[in-house]
Amino acid sequence: MNDDLMFFDDDLEDGEDEGFETNLEYEVEDVKKKKRVKTKKKASKEKVPGIIVLGAFLSVILFSLFIASEIYIRFLNNLNETKRIAYETALNTKVVVDEDPDKIYSAKQVAGMIEAAKEQGREEFLLDMKTRLGSGESLTKYLRPLYPDDLILYSGGKYLFIPIDNELPRNDYKSEDLVKNPDGELTYVKDGAVVSHKGIDVSKYQGDIDWQAVKDDGVEFVIIRCGIRGYESGALVEDEKFKDNVEGALGVGLETGVYFYTQAMTEDEAVEEAEFVRELLTPYNITGPVVCDVERTGSSSGRMNRLDKETRTQVVRKFCDCIASYGYSPMIYHNTEMALVMIDLKSFKDIPKWYAYYDTDFYYPYEYDMWQYSESGRVNGIEGDVDINIRFTPNN
């Protein structure tokens, strides 16, 4: 209660109290109104600073976004201008061409010359391919120089591009070290001396052989087929001419080894084949290699054709291990397809290899000790064709 409004009733005369009360009510109401006005003004003054701060904050953000956008736009304009200047500079830059150092060309002219050279190169490439393929060269051989990091092979109706495996041992044979005589016979020469050894491999298909005549013709070693496993029946069969051939070759002092044509599908069958070979060899002093002949048969029903690479590798390895345990020197015979597709060569790093390839370019990079370079050779003492081989390692 306000002290200014405190009165005593005794001080009021009759008839004056009603008017005073009315005036008092007005004064009280007026005081209340003044207080409300002051309160509203105070609240308004408190709201003003908050609005100002918020507005200033938003203004700073908008201004920052505006500046950032301007900087980005100028950056893009400068970048495009730089590109434009570089492009125009390149077009107007003068280039000296080695073939004609006295003449100066613009970059645009050089670009045109490059395109013309590409077109000319394309035409020359197509003409070269047409000429070489038309002369009888195989597409596989034509493609090989174009893919130096791959071994190219046609197998299973398609061309395979197999990366060269740098973990496998390499050979160092060079075509320039090969010497061919007038009869087509090859020798390998290093530092002017012949380091290769001439050999043949035979089976019943060579018929009766005059082994003394064979030796007199310069043959140093022979690999004789001792037997096969039937590619359909699976039966183990001794070669019809094995005994005649092994006794004839040993009789004239030729170094003699044997090969067995495998069609084993399991490791147990590989053991069976190795034992079969051991029985055939027991009567003879065989100092040459005992070879596991790994080949794809021409028949779709060939037993070993159905094996995957891993299984075939295990089977062949088992045969080699058995032969070694019998005291003989194991070897595997293979061509490019067999080496790259049919077996895993990494499993045979310690096994000598006999490689069949009827060309002189030494395309195949991996290590091998003996090379069958012809299937149509001629040797005295044999009627008809015979396989001719070179061995790069010394005689046993």
The span from the CA of 357 to the CA of 334, in Å, is 9
* C-beta of residue 340 within 8 angstroms of C-beta of residue 277: no
Domain limits of the chain?
3-88, 138-167, 173-391
In terms of DSSP H, where are the helices of the chain? Answer: 17-92, 107-134, 139-143, 211-216, 242-251, 267-281, 309-325, 336-337
- Give me the amino acid identity at 126: L
The span from the CA of 235 to the CA of 237, in Å, is 6
* C-beta of residue 263 within 8 angstroms of C-beta of residue 240: no
* C-beta of residue 276 within 8 angstroms of C-beta of residue 261: no
**What single DSSP character describes residue 233?**
T
Nearest to 214 by CA among 369, 387, 395: 387
The pair of structure tokens assigned to 370 is: 């003996």
The pair of structure tokens assigned to 256 is: 């003699």
pLDDT in tens, the chain (396 residues): 444 333 333 433 344 444 434 444 444 455 445 545 444 444 444 444 556 656 655 665 655 555 555 555 555 565 555 555 555 555 455 555 555 555 666 778 778 878 888 888 888 888 888 888 899 988 888 889 999 999 999 988 899 999 999 999 999 999 999 999 988 899 999 999 999 999 999 999 999 999 999 999 999 999 999 999 998 899 999 999 999 999 999 999 999 999 999 999 999 999 999 999 999 999 999 999 999 999 888 777 788 888 999 999 999 999 999 999 999 999 999 999 999 999 999 999 999 999 999 999 999 999 999 999 999 999 999 999 999 999 998 766
Q: What sign does the dihedral 143-145-147-148 (CA atoms) show? A: positive
Q: Where are the beta strands (DSSP E) in 287-361?
A: 289-293, 329-334, 353-356
Coil vs helix vs strand at 172: coil
Q: Residue 330's CB: how many other CB atoms inside 10 A?
A: 23
**What single DSSP character describes residue 98?**
T
Coil vs helix vs strand at 312: helix
First-to-last C-alpha distance (Å) of the chain: 135
The span from the CA of 129 to the CA of 160, in Å, is 20
Q: Identify the burial level of 144 via C-beta atoms within 10 angstroms of its C-beta, where 0-12 means exposed, 13-18 middle and 19 or more buried.
A: middle
Q: Does domain 173-391 have CATH number 2.30.40.10?
A: no
* DSSP letter string, 245-280: HHHHHHHTT-EEEEEEE----SHHHHHHHHHHHHHH
Q: Residue 195's CB: how many other CB atoms inside 10 A?
A: 15
Nearest to 290 by CA among 309, 265, 262, 253: 262
